[in-house]
């Protein structure tokens, strides 16, 4: 049995997504609860865990920076799978709570933002309070004698004895989160030459002080017909104005073309890492 790390406590969107993926893959996994995303990634890097399931991007709120930054700084973490998870947020209260009297609503900052219009319209009198996770929000409501509510997964609410006050309260019904399955890859592993998944993720740092350097990199993909589905920049954490770039590339151009494109970008970069070739699974949280 493999031990796979996830963001805790029990009842988070991360746990819900990981449970779905475990069932879908029929995987022999034990899910290990971790305090935060960095703890998951560091435990995989130090081989305390066999793998991890971590969020990387939300369709409404953007990238999860700690995931990107940790991947960029590691030489031994690789992406082996992507899960696109449909996010459903629930308003949960203690049983018999009069929703008209709710004074505070707890949740992680992202769900609070994802449900902002709904909460402002229906609970203008309630204070919103950010917590470390949606599951922690449910715990706070459970332990309080006040008329509080949590925005969380239905599972988190049920685990804490809460009732559904309202379902699917996210402002955008197409709200989804991308998760990466992360594994350890030895430093002496053979270079990736087969691109038999749906995507490949590469990270590089280019000379931003030279005009047109990013355009030259993008042209290497364009002239070979390599489709780029996502580009993200993050500070290189070296000097002010230095950036690294993340590129999600579709792999249907063929092995040779992908190798040539990545090599050409490598030649134009200060450094480049190939973080893995992986399949993409699209799931529905229903």
Q: Is the domain of 54 the same as that of 97?
A: no
Distances in Å between the Cα of 281 and the Cα atoms of 20, 119, 231, 243 are 11, 31, 20, 30
Contact 141, 160 (CB under 8 A): yes
> Does 3 score more than 60 pLDDT?
yes
State mean pLDDT over 136-141.
93
The C-alpha angle with vertex 233 and arms to 87 and 213, in degrees rounded to 5, equals: 150
Examine the domain organization and report whether 104 and 62 are in the same domain. Answer: no
For residues 202 and 282, state if they share a domain: yes
The predicted-structure confidence for 76-120, as pLDDT tens digits, reads as follows: 999 999 999 998 999 999 998 998 999 999 998 889 988 999 999
Residue carrying the six token digits 């104005």: 241
**Domain stop point among 183, 216, 249:** 183
pLDDT over threshold 80, residue 60? no
Read off the pLDDT band of 202 (50, 70, 90).
very high
pLDDT digit string (tens) for 210-219? 777 888 889 9
pLDDT in tens, 18-42: 999 999 999 999 999 998 899 999 9
Instruction: Please tell me the distance from the alpha carbon of residue 58 to that of residue 13, in angstroms, as a whole number.
Output: 12
Question: How many domains in the chain?
Answer: 3
Instruction: Note the pLDDT of residue 112.
Output: 93
Identify the pLDDT of residue 240: 66
Query: Can you give 205-251 as a three-state secondary structure string?
Result: ECCCCCCCHHHHHHHHHHCCCCCEEEEEEEECCCCCCCEEEEEEEEC
Domain that holds residue 127: 90-166
pLDDT tens-digit readout, 230-283: 998 888 776 666 788 999 999 888 899 999 999 999 998 899 999 999 999 998
- At 208 the pLDDT is 66
**Do residue 261 and residue 216 come from a single domain?**
yes
> Helices in the chain by DSSP H: which ranges?
13-25, 37-45, 65-73, 109-114, 116-122, 134-143, 154-159, 213-222, 255-267
| Cis before 9 (ω within 30) | yes
Give me the sign of the Cα torsion angle 66, 69, 74, 79.
positive
* Contact by Cβ (8 Å): 258, 195: yes
Of the three residues 150, 183, 216, the one that is the final residue of a domain is 183
Are residues 105 and 154 both part of a single domain?
A: yes
pLDDT, tens only, 149-175: 999 999 999 999 999 999 999 988 888
Please tell me the pTM assigned to this model: 0.86
């Amino acid at each position: 049995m493999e031990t796979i790390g996830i963001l805790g406590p029990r009842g988070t969107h991360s746990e819900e997504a990981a449970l779905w993926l475990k069932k879908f893959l029929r995987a022999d996994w034990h899910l290990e609860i971790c305090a935060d995303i960095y703890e998951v990634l560091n435990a995989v890097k130090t081989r305390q865990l066999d793998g991890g399931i971590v969020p990387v991007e939300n369709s409404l709120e953007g990238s999860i920076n700690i995931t990107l930054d940790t991947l960029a700084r590691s030489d031994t973490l690789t992406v082996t799978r992507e899960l696109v998870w449909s996010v459903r947020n629930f308003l949960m209260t203690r049983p018999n709570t009069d929703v008209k009297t709710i004074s505070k609503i707890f949740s992680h900052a992202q769900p609070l933002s994802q449900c902002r219009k709904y909460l402002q319209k229906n609970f203008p009198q309630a204070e919103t309070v950010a917590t470390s996770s949606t599951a922690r929000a449910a715990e706070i409501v459970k332990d309080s004698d006040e008329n509080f509510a949590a925005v969380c997964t239905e599972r988190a609410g049920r685990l804490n004895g809460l009732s559904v006050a309202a379902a699917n309260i996210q402002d955008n019904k197409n709200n989804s989160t991308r998760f990466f399955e992360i594994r350890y890859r030895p430093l002496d592993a053979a270079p990736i030459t087969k691109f038999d998944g749906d995507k490949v993720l590469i990270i590089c740092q280019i000379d931003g002080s030279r005009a047109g350097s990013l355009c030259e990199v993008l042209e290497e993909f364009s002239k070979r017909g390599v489709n780029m589905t996502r580009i993200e920049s993050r500070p290189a954490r070296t000097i002010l104005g230095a950036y690294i770039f993340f590129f999600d590339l579709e792999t249907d151009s063929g092995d040779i073309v992908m190798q040539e494109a990545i090599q050409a970008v490598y030649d134009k970069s200060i450094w480049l890492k190939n973080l893995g070739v992986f399949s993409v699974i699209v799931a529905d949280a229903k």
